[in-house]
């Protein structure tokens, strides 16, 4: 009669016992139980009684929304095929922070990539948070690869974006066509 160890050596098959599998499942459950609870995003939020604010200031809901909305700082993103320039202005339009992909250290053709735009947005958003701005409005202008990735970078850094406005200039009278070729 051949022993079990001899069969294992001959077939090169590793046998798992059910106790090992059960122990692995218990370990996983313990690890999952030890993880912190998921934050639903409500911790640290400050609440205010909007009805009381409306009665005290005698403002309508639209007036209250507009007064709060227009007091937010503005992030202006100008994208071109070769570079992305981001500046942050206060609510009155005075520029406070200006960054571009070239300032961040990207040179030549790398300035026009979406990775450079996202890195620039993350750095300028960190500086805006240091100034105490958490909620901003965003104006995007230009057609370049850094449009969406710069907005994503602002969100990744922790800024709350209230509105995104596209201010790309559109020409309604296109440029004059080329002169006809003479043959």
182 domain-assigned: no
- Is residue 149 situated within a structural domain? yes
Question: In angstroms, what is the C-alpha Rg of the chain?
Answer: 29
Residue 2 forms part of a structural domain: no
Count of residues for the chain?
183
Number of domains in the chain: 1
Strand order in the sheet with 160-166: 95-100, 84-89, 74-79, 135-141, 160-166
Structure-block tokens of residue 139:
């104006």
Question: Which pTM does this prediction carry?
Answer: 0.62
Range of the domain at 73: 67-166
**Quick check: is 160 in a domain?**
yes
Q: Please indicate, yes or no, if residue 92 is contained in any of the structural domains.
A: yes
In whole angstroms, what separates CA 9 from the centre of its chain? 55
Judge whether 101 lies within some domain: yes
pLDDT tens track for 19-58: 444 455 567 677 767 666 655 544 444 555 555 655 555 5
Say if 3 falls within a structural domain.
Answer: no
**CATH number for the domain including 133?**
3.30.420.80
Residue 136 inside a domain? The answer is: yes
Q: What is the mean pLDDT of the chain?
A: 79
């Amino acid at each position: 009669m051949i022993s079990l160890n001899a069969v294992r050596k001959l077939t090169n098959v590793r046998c798992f016992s059910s106790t090992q599998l059960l122990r692995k499942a218990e370990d996983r459950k313990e690890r999952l139980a030890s993880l912190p609870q998921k934050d639903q995003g409500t911790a640290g939020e400050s609440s205010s009684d909007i009805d009381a604010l409306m009665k005290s200031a005698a403002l309508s809901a639209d007036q209250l929304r507009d007064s709060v909305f227009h007091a937010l700082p503005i992030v202006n993103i100008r994208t071109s095929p070769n570079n992305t320039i981001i500046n942050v202005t206060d609510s009155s339009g005075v520029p406070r922070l200006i960054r571009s992909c070239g300032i961040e250290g990207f040179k030549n053709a790398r300035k026009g990539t979406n990775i450079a735009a996202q890195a620039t947005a993350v750095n300028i958003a960190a500086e805006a948070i240091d100034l105490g701005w958490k909620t901003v409005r965003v104006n995007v202008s230009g057609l370049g690869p850094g449009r969406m990735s710069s907005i994503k970078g602002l969100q990744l850094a922790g800024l709350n974006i209230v509105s995104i406005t596209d201010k790309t200039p559109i020409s309604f009278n296109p440029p004059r066509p080329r002169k006809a070729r003479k043959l």
